[in-house]
Structure 1
Amino acid sequence: MLHAPAMATRVFAVSDIHVDFDVNFQWVRQLSRADYRDDVLILAGDVTHKPAELASCLHELASRFANVLFVPGNHDVWVLGEAPQRTSLHKFEEVVALVERNGASMQPYRRGEVLIAPMLSWYDYSFGEPSAELYHLWMDFHACRWPADFTPKDVANYFMDRNPQISSQGAGKIITFSHFLPRIDLIPAQVPSRHRLLDPVLGSSRLDRQIRQLGSSIHVYGHSHINRRIAIDGVTYINNALGYPGEERITKRQLLCIDEL
Structure 2
Amino acid sequence: MRIVAISDLHVDRSKANAATVAAVAEEVACLQPEVFIVAGDLSPSPQRIGEVLGAWAGLAPLCLFVPGNHDLWLLPKERKAGITSWEKYGQVLPEVCAREGFHYLPGRPMVWRGVGFVGTMGWFDYSLRDRSLDGQIPWEAYERNRYRYIHWNDRRYARWEASDREVTLAMAEELEAGLKQLEPRGVQRMVAVTHHLPFEDLLPSEEKGPLAKQFCWGFLGSALLGKVLLGYPQVGHL
- State if a TM-score over 0.5 links the two structures: yes
**DSSP-derived class of the 1:156 partner:** helix
Q: Displacement of 1:189 after TM fit?
A: 4.2
| Contact 1:10/1:39 (8 A) holds in 2 | yes
Q: Which residue of 1 aligns with 2:123?
A: 122
Cα 1:200–1:94 change in 2 (3 A) is same
| Contact 1:69/1:118 (8 A) holds in 2 | no
Alignment of 1:158-177 (within 5 A): 158-166=170-178, 167-169=181-183, 170-177=186-193
RMSD: 2.3
Segments of 5+ residues of structure 2 without an aligned counterpart are 130-138
Distance (whole Å) between structure 2 residues aligned to residue 44 and residue 172 of structure 1:
23
Q: Displacement of 1:28 after TM fit?
A: 1.9
Identity percentage of aligned residues: 27
Distance (whole Å) between structure 2 residues aligned to residue 134 and residue 91 of structure 1:
31
Higher helix share: 2
| Contact 1:135/1:141 (8 A) holds in 2 | no
Distance (whole Å) between structure 2 residues aligned to residue 50 and residue 134 of structure 1:
30
Q: Displacement of 1:74 after TM fit?
A: 0.4
The TM-score normalised by the length of structure 1 is 0.72
Q: Which residue of 1 aligns with 2:209?
A: 193
Which deviates more, 25-34 or 53-62? 25-34
What is the aligned counterpart of 2:199 among 183, 186, 189?
183
Cα 1:80–1:189 change in 2 (3 A) is same
Distance (whole Å) between structure 1 residues aligned to residue 231 and residue 99 of structure 2:
31
Residue-by-residue CA offset, 1:12-50 (whole Å, 9 max, x unaligned): 111111111332332222323853566211111111101
Counterpart amino acid of residue 182 in structure 2: S
Counterpart amino acid of residue 143 in structure 1: Y
Q: Which residue of 1 aligns with 2:84?
A: 87
| Contact 1:36/1:65 (8 A) holds in 2 | no
Residue-by-residue CA offset, 1:46-92 (whole Å, 9 max, x unaligned): 11101111001111111322221111110000013133422211222
Structure number with the bigger relative contact order (C-alpha 8 A, sep ≥ 6) is 1
**DSSP-derived class of the 2:147 partner:** helix
Cα 1:56–1:189 change in 2 (3 A) is closer
Cα 1:27–1:193 change in 2 (3 A) is closer
Distance (whole Å) between structure 2 residues aligned to residue 135 and residue 210 of structure 1:
34
> Does residue 1:25 correspond to 2:37, yes or no?
no
Distance (whole Å) between structure 2 residues aligned to residue 179 and residue 34 of structure 1:
23
Q: Which residue of 2 aligns with 1:223?
A: none
What is the aligned counterpart of 1:66 among 58, 61, 66?
61
Q: Which residue of 2 aligns with 1:46?
A: 41
After TM superposition, which residue ranges in structure 1, 4 or more long, deviate above 3 angstroms? 33-38
> Does residue 1:113 correspond to 2:114, yes or no?
yes
Q: Which residue of 2 aligns with 1:232?
A: none
- The number of residue pairs the alignment matches comes to 210
Distance (whole Å) between structure 2 residues aligned to residue 168 and residue 14 of structure 1:
24
Q: Which residue of 1 aligns with 2:132?
A: none
| Contact 2:9/2:20 (8 A) holds in 1 | no
Distance (whole Å) between structure 2 residues aligned to residue 123 and residue 216 of structure 1:
25
| Contact 1:134/1:197 (8 A) holds in 2 | no
> Does residue 1:77 correspond to 2:75, yes or no?
no
Residue-by-residue CA offset, 1:206-250 (whole Å, 9 max, x unaligned): 100111223344211xxxxxxxxxxxxxxxxxxxxxxxxxxxxxx
Q: Which residue of 2 aligns with 1:234?
A: none
